[in-house]
Amino acid sequence: MTRSSAPGKIYLFGEHAVVYGEPAVPCAIERRARVDVERREDSKLRVRAEDLSLDGFTVEYGGGTDGRPDIDVPNELVEAAMGYVDGAIEQVREVTGESEAGFDVTIESDIPLGAGLGSSAAVVVAAIDAATRELGVTLSTDELAERAYQTELDVQEGQASRADTFCSATGGAVRVEGSDCQSITAPDLPLVIGFDGGAGDTGALVAGVRSLRSEYDFAAETVSSIGDIVRRGETALENADVEELGRLMNFTHGLLSALGVSSRSLDSMVWAAREAGAHGAKLTGAGGGGCIVALDPTPETETALRYLPGCEEVFRAEMAEEGVRRLE
């Protein structure tokens, strides 16, 4: 049996705009998905999911990964828990040349699903790494990131960017612009995460921005403005100017709200963080529900969010300098 883990992430800047070739800067955080993989004697795939914002379940099926098991779990949760695993295993079979390999896969995660913290990317990166190693192949970090991206691209019907999977595979802070991905230096940021307990529909949110962008020139200009903020944010990171980073995060949240991807709960958490004295706060990820990220070295933002109706969880996040971690 092999085990790998990979971190989740937050976006400092660039979500949604990165889909259109603008730069983005995500940072890996120490909330991880862990995947255990053991080869089977047959070609079946058995998936056990735990702690994925679900009560946990186990499914087993065979004859390829294009079918869906008959289990008493809502279809969207089955898709969330298994769709990315299916794609990851197809990548493993392709890269190893073992087209009939079957696996027992166990997933544990402390990254909430669909909340903007990169849960799917972390699961895919860890699953590909563990399963290839189970078959005696160890991928380079770059190839692991690329194959994880191809998995997300397929599952998300061409709407994915390389940002999440590259960040999860490499760790630290990264800059992504189109196909160009590179690690960058960032100071140790005082990250506070607020979670409303919900999840946005990434596909619908991305499609909504695409529709606005094609219909209105000012929506396209808004997307470009997010890219401009990313470029200014890179300078602030280089200078370790946390106050400027916060101001730019505030601008970004306003632009994302204008594009229709925020929500009442996200806005409430953002304003609670700002009123508590945070340098800045914004939604992170696709939006529509899920998480916000704030910069505050004091305990004030944590306290404010903890007592805010509609905020289900709040925690301070450490940056994860290590990406994929090979545990066994």
Local confidence band at 79 (pLDDT 50, 70, 90 cut-offs): low
Least reliable range by pLDDT among 46-55, 164-173, 197-206, 275-284: 46-55
**Highest mean pLDDT of the ranges 17-21, 98-102, 270-274:** 270-274
HEC string of the chain?
CEEEEEEEEEEEECCCHHHHCCCEEEEEEEEEEEEEEEECCCCCEEEEEECCCCCCEEEEECCCCCCCCCCCCCHHHHHHHHHHHHHHHHHHHHHHCCCCCCEEEEEEECCCCCCCCCHHHHHHHHHHHHHHHHCCCCCCHHHHHHHHHHHHHHHCCCCCCCHHHHHHHHCCEEEEECCEEEEECCCCCCEEEEECCCCCCHHHHHHHHHHHHHHCHHHHHHHHHHHHHHHHHHHHHHCCCHHHHHHHHHHHHHHHHHCCCCCHHHHHHHHHHHHCCCCEEEECCCCCCCEEEEECCCCHHHHHHHCCCCCCEEEEECECCCCCEECC
What pTM value is reported for the model?
0.87
Q: What pLDDT, on a 0 to 100 scale, did the predictor assign at position 161? A: 78
Window from 27-31, 86-90, 154-158 with minimum mean pLDDT: 154-158
Residue 62 has pLDDT above 70, yes or no: no
Q: How confident is the model at residue 78 (pLDDT cuts 50, 70, 90)?
A: low
- Encode pLDDT of 259-290 as tens digits: 999 999 999 999 999 999 999 999 999 899 99
Sorted by where each starts, the structural domains of the chain and their CATH numbers stand as: 2-184 (3.30.230.10), 191-317 (3.30.70.890)
Active-site residue numbers? 164
The confidence score (pLDDT) of residue 71 equals 46
pLDDT over 80 (residue 57) = no
Q: What is the tens place of the pLDDT at every residue in 30-41?
A: 999 999 999 999
When pLDDT is cut at 50, 70 and 90, the band that residue 52 belongs to is low
